[in-house]
Amino acid sequence: MPTRFQTTMLLVALFVRIAGAQTPDTTHPPVGATVSGVVRDSLARGPLAGATVELVAADSPGRFARTAVSDSLGRFTLTDVPAGRHKLGFFHPLLDSLGVDAPLREVYVADQRLVHADLAIPSPDRLRTAICGDRSGRHQNAVIVGTVRDAHDGSPAVGAMVSVEWAELSFRRNGVVARSTPRRVATTGDNGWFALCNVPNAGTIALIATRGADSTDVIEVEAPSKGFLRHELYLGASQTSGAIDEANASAVSGTSRSVRSGDGHISGIVTTEEDGRPLAEAQVSIPGGPQTRSNDRGEWTLVGAPAGTRMLEVRALGYYPERRRVDVVAGVPVVRVALSTLKAVLDTVRVRASRLNGDPGGFEARRRTGLGRYLTAMDIDRFRPVVLSDIFRTVPGVRLELDAGGVDKRISIRGAFGPCDPAIYLNGQPLTHIIGFSVVTLTADDLDTWVRPHDVTGIEIYTGETTPVEYQQGMSGCGSILIWTKLAR
C-alpha cells in the first residue's frame, strides 16, 4: 500500500503539471515512450472505467507527470514519456468508498519502446487484511465497508452509527440448542466511511445505519462469501432511531417499523420471470411507508416515500414475493422486478418431496415430543375446510387477518411480543423467505390457491423457541408452520 506521503506527492505532481501546462506544439511529433495498460476492479472482476491514471518521475514527482482517464474497458495510454524510473498509480471514487489508496507501481522506461503496465484495485483478501489486520485464522473473517450519506444532498454523514447483526445457533453438551445474536458496531468518520470487521462470511445479516432521528431501514444482505462487501447507505428521516433493537422487537411482534412518509418517490416495472410480460395489480410497498399497485403495463410509482435506503416489497397473487433494497434518492433509476410463479416454486418442492417415504419429514417423531401443536389428517377432516386457510381459523394461537392494504389475508401466530409472521414449509421446503428480522411470506390466498385441504396429511405449528432447529430461519424468532401432503409419502 502507498504511504500518505507518496499519495500526496502524486497530487502535488498533478497540480504542478496543471499549473505549468502550455498549449501543446503540434508541429513536432511526440518524443519518448508510450505507457499503456488496463485498470481492473478486483472486486467486480472487470475493468474499471473513469479511473484517473497518473505517472510521475520517481526521483522528483514535480519535475514530470502524465495523466490519462481509463475508458469503458479500463484502458489508458500515456504518451511522450521520457526515459527513466517512474511511479504509476490511479485515483477513483471507488477507492474512497473502500477507504484505501491504490498501490503504486514502478515503471522503467527506455528509449521509445512501448511499456505495458496494468493497475488494479487490491484483491478482497488484501483489502480485508489492510483494513482489519490479519484475521485469516478466524472463522468469522469478513469485512463490510462503505459510505453513509445524507439522502437529500449526498453529503457524507459524519458520526453515524452502523450496526450489523446475525443469528447464531450453538449446540451444548446437554443437547440444548442456544440461540444468540452477535453484533458489530462502527461509527463513520469525517468522510462518512465505515468498516465492520469480523462478520460472518456466509449466511444472511441485517445492516442498519442511524444518526439522531435519521436512519435507514434494516437492510437484509447476504454475508460476503469472498470475505469483502461494500455497501453505500443513505440516511433519511424516521420516527424511530437507534434502531436495530427496535427493529428486532417490531419484526418479532409482527408490526412494521414506523417510518414517516416523505417527499421522495421511486418508480419501477413488475414483470413475470417466465416470459417477461408486464404484471398488473402487483402490490408494491415500503414496509411502514406508502404502497401502490402496478398498472396494466406493470408500471408503478410510490409517492411520498421516505428518503434513504429502504426495503421494497413486491407481491402478487400466485407469485413468489420479492423483497429488495432500494435507495430513495434523487436520480434513482427505474426498479425492475421479475416475479416467479408460485406454481414453479411448488413444483420444485413436489419434486424434492417425492423422495420421502414412511414418516414424512419426521412428523410422528416430533409429535411425540409434544413441543408444538399437531394436526393429523383426521383432525383436518373434522374441520371440513373448503380452503386450506379455513383450518387455521379454529387453531388456538393462529390468526387470519387482512394485511395493511385490506386486500390479502395474512396468517400470523402468537409470538412473545404479539402476533407475528411465521416461516411456512411445505413438505419440508420453505415457502417463506426470512432475511434478518423480516419475513417475506405467502398470503393465505396463495396457499389456498396451490394446496388443497384433502391433500394435507399433517400440520405442525411452532412458536419461538419450540421450533425445531432445522425449521428455524433467520432472526425473526417468531416460529414456523409445517404443512405435509400426500405428495410427501
Q: Return the C-alpha cell found at 184.
A: 458489530
> What are 142's strand-pairing partners?
199
Q: What is the pLDDT of residues 127-165, one digit of tens each?
A: 877 778 765 445 457 888 889 999 999 999 999 999 998
| Section 432-452 average pLDDT | 66
**Torsion of the alpha carbons at 119, 123, 128 and 131, rounded to the nearest 10:** 0
Q: Is the pLDDT of residue 255 over 90?
A: no
Distance CA 301, CA 174 (A): 54
Q: What is the pLDDT of residue 437?
A: 45
Q: Is the pLDDT of residue 304 over 70?
A: yes
User: CA of 30: how far to CAs of 25, 33, 81, 114, 291, in Å?
Assistant: 9, 9, 9, 13, 62
Q: What's the longest Cα–Cα distance across the chain?
A: 98
Q: What is the pLDDT of residues 3-44, one digit of tens each?
A: 444 444 444 444 444 444 444 444 555 567 899 999 998 887
CB 38, CB 32: distance < 8 Å: no
